[in-house]
């Protein structure tokens, strides 16, 4: 499978993280557990774009276990290679969310790059904020996504941007960060994805549904 098009300035999970947080306060725009599911899917997609894993029949298949000296993706590929065989995508999403603390790891990657700061809440031990060092830089994934989705021809939108829009829509981040017209375009992104990425997105949505059921109980 060949992916084409100009890649986003930020890695996929980084762009999703920045869109999911207010650049000034550093607070998440929505429920953190739902954002974590989408971030897990985005982190796995990064490995797919790098041809280090594949998604086949709803499962993650390891392809290339070599390390690229990028701490987060190297950690994920090491975990995937350590568990031999193909395992369900939804199971990996839960593992990244519940055991690898994917939100913290993506935030740390951005903090290491000097894009955000990590601020620990004083009242709640688990309350962490990620305000931007440069709000304009942190807002750039949202600005770019808006510009790309508002193009007249959908064929001009690269597949990573389509997946970013498709991940934002079920997490309900769009209502806080985008106008109505962009939200309409984001709802169209999923059907334009190639089958392996549709499978990944489906696993993210299933994980989101499971999270919602768990909360309601």
Which domains does the chain carry?
A: 13-212 (1.10.3630.10)
| C-alpha closest to that of 53 among 197, 162, 157, 164 | 197
Q: CA-to-CA distance for 1 and 53, rounded, in angstroms?
A: 12
If one counts every other C-beta atom within 10 angstroms of the C-beta of residue 183, the result is: 18
CA 175 to chain centre: 17
pTM (2 d.p.): 0.92
Q: Is the pLDDT of residue 125 over 60?
A: no
User: Looking at residues 131-152, what average pLDDT do you find?
Assistant: 93
User: Looking at residues 160-174, what average pLDDT do you find?
Assistant: 93
Parallel/antiparallel/unpaired status of strands 128-129 and 53-56? unpaired
Average pLDDT along the chain = 90
Partner residues linked to 54 by β-bridges: 61
Q: Is the pLDDT of residue 8 over 60?
A: no
User: Looking at residues 138-167, what average pLDDT do you find?
Assistant: 90
* pLDDT at residue 17, as a whole number: 98
Q: CA-to-CA distance for 34 and 19, rounded, in angstroms?
A: 14
Helix and strand numbers (H, E) in the chain are 10, 5
């Amino acid at each position: 499978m060949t992916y084409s098009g100009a890649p986003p300035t930020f890695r996929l999970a980084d762009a999703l993280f920045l869109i999911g947080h207010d650049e000034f306060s550093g607070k998440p725009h929505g429920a953190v557990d739902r954002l974590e599911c989408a971030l897990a899917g985005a982190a796995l997609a990064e490995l797919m774009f790098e041809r280090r894993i594949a998604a086949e029949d709803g499962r993650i298949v390891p392809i290339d276990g070599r390390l690229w000296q990028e701490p987060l993706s190297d950690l994920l590929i090491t975990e995937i290679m350590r568990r031999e065989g193909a395992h369900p995508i939804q199971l990996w999403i839960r593992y990244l969310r519940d055991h690898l603390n994917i939100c913290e790891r993506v935030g740390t990657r951005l903090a290491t790059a000097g894009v955000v700061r990590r601020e620990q809440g004083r009242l709640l031990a688990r309350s962490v904020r990620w305000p931007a060092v440069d709000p304009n830089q942190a807002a750039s994934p949202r600005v770019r996504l808006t510009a790309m989705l508002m193009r007249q021809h959908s064929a001009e939108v690269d597949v990573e941007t389509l997946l970013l829009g498709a991940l934002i829509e079920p997490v309900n981040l769009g209502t806080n960060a985008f106008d109505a017209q962009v939200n309409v375009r984001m709802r169209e992104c999923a059907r334009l994805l190639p089958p392996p990425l549709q499978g990944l997105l489906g696993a993210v949505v299933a994980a989101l549904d499971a999270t919602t059921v768990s909360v309601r109980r």
